[in-house]
Structure 1
Amino acid sequence: MSTGELIRAEVAGRPGDRPADVLPSRESASAEQFAQLALDLHDSEGMEETVEAVVDFALQALSCSHAGVALVTRGQLEIPAVTDPVVAGIYEFQAGGALGPLIESMRDHSTVLVRDTATDDRWPAWAAKVRALGVRSVLDVPLTTGTGTVGILGLYSAEQDAFGPDEEAVAHILARHASVAVASARQELSLAQAVDARKLVGQAMGILMERFDLDDDRAFAVLKRYSQNSNRKLRDVAQELIETRKLPT
């Protein structure tokens, strides 16, 4: 079984036909690379470190000159990790409203391949931009979880037609690992923020209870009322009370 066949089998969820100890050295190396990636992603602390591990691995495992990850947060495009300013420029161009493969991949939850920016005519303005940056071929793969597409893994090469079936298969495996890692990182961040918010609200309630001789239910009701009247998050009202020792005006 060739490297490409082995990788495509993993993409399709089929195990390899031969045990790892008899695989050719190139196939074993690919398996070791993905095993190391899984460890790196597991050990990553926070979102930025997670996506940096993804793009670093992309440069090692794929025929690309540049790589990057773009994430969607509250409807806004964020660029947490790129291998160099070339990718940042390409992402920012599309984040500004220009049409391109990243936008299409995000919208349609589909992989988009551009074999040559000199001949592809789907997005003329985008093609001219990336060609001027020295990029000839592009592969955008969506990072998808059960809740939808959370971002895009973008691969870029200075060579035309750099991404064949083998590279695309590897990119899908990498995107699958990255999707889970990014979703987990976001969940951990959300939980941490929730815990922090509860602590802040608890401290603010304690201040109100001591100063105005309120019980915990009344203190929480006061915070909630100020939050609603000012159209601000309960956490922000609590933070201001803790810092100023005064209720918001």
Structure 2
Amino acid sequence: MAEFEFAVPTSADTFARLAVELHDAPGVEETVDAVVQFALQALNCTYAGVALHSRGSRANIVAVTDPIVADIFERQISTANGPLVVALRDRTTILIRDTKVDDRWPEWAAKVAELGVRSVLDVPLAIGNGAGPSVGVLGLYSPDADAFGQDDEAIAHILARHASIAVASARHEETMAQAVDARKLVGQAMGILMERFDVDGDRAFAILKRYSQDTNTKLRDVAQRLVDTRKLPH
């Protein structure tokens, strides 16, 4: 996990060094870990977390600095209601100055206040300026009422922009790596079929594809089964 110790946490040099840290992170998990740790030092917050959204699925909690954040996130994700949900859907920043008096999500706010959180700042992580769901949300929390000022919001937006680009890049690299692994796996499975049944590559691929369609199983999973067991699915 990355650690940041800067004398002036809001300087341009700080964000430049953060960008390097995010670029060097090996995956999405490490990337968002660096983001939330930086948020604790650069912003007036006690807790921080990141929830990411994938198309066709609900948001996932991927990094928190305290179990309280996971609780706050889960209460919203499970009910599809709360500032995090709105930030994701509308790509808009949500500021709650005091959970004890804010009336936009009264039931949720009351439970969050019981956890000892008074101020909430949810900033969307998004790529581009167009409409559509955002990549995720950076959630910032403080036990103090009215903890986040204009400077905090400005810094949070800069951090969110860095995080958005880094997360998108990490996701793309992971997807590419998975695609390469899948091609290698299918190639190994084809080699087994070619040797066992004395067929050419086109025929071997057709066999894998047929089993994939007949069993409603991903081609990669059919190949994995064949490589692991030397048998095709029934």
Residue 58 of structure 1 deviates from its aligned partner by 0.4
**Match among 86, 93, 101 for residue 119 of structure 1:** 101
- Please name the residue that 2:3 is paired with: none
C-alpha deviation, 1:89, in angstroms: 0.7
- State which of 132, 139, 145 in structure 1 corresponds to 2:127: 145
Q: Which residue of 2 aligns with 1:50?
A: 31
In 2, the alpha carbon distance for the partners of 1:210 and 1:241 equals 13
Is structure 2 residue 117 aligned with structure 1 residue 102?
no
SS in 1 for 2:26: coil
CA shift for structure 1 position 26: 5.0
Aligned counterpart, 1:133:
115
Normalized against structure 2, the TM-score is what? 0.92
| In structure 2, distance between residues paired with 1:174 and 1:148 | 19
Question: Which of 174, 187, 199 is the equivalent residue of 1:202?
Answer: 187
Task: Tell me, in whole angstroms, the C-alpha distance in 2 between the residues paired with 1:142 and 1:130.
Answer: 20
1:34-76 Cα distance to aligned partner (Å, 9 max, x none): 1221111011111111000000010010000100000012422
The one-letter code sitting in structure 1 at the alignment partner of 2:201 is D
Change (3 A) 1:216 1:113: same
> CA separation in 2, counterparts of 1:104 and 1:95?
11
Q: Does residue 79 in structure 1 map to residue 64 in structure 2?
A: no
Provide the secondary structure at the position in 2 that maps to 1:96.
Answer: helix
- Superposed, 1:162-173 pairs within 5 Å as 162-173=147-158
**Partner in structure 2 of residue 8 of structure 1:** none
Secondary structure of 2:117's aligned partner: coil
Cα RMSD after superposing both structures: 1.4
Under a length normalisation based on structure 1, what TM-score does the superposition of the two structures give?
0.87
Shift of 1:114: 0.5
Uncovered stretches (5+) of structure 1, i.e. residues with no partner = 1-24
Within-5 A mapping of 1:1-249: 30-74=11-55, 75-146=57-128, 148-249=133-234
Q: Quick one: distance in 1 between partners of 2:13 and 2:108?
A: 37
Question: Which of the two has higher C-alpha Rg?
Answer: 1
Structure 1, residues 215-242: CA drift from partner, whole Å, max 9, x if none?
Answer: 0000000000111111111000000011
CA offsets per residue over residues 70-111 of structure 1, 9 Å max, x none? Answer: 001242211111111110110111121151100011111111
Amino acid in the other structure paired with 2:146 = D
* Structure 2: runs of 5 or more not aligned: 1-6
Deviation at 1:148, TM superposition (A): 4.7
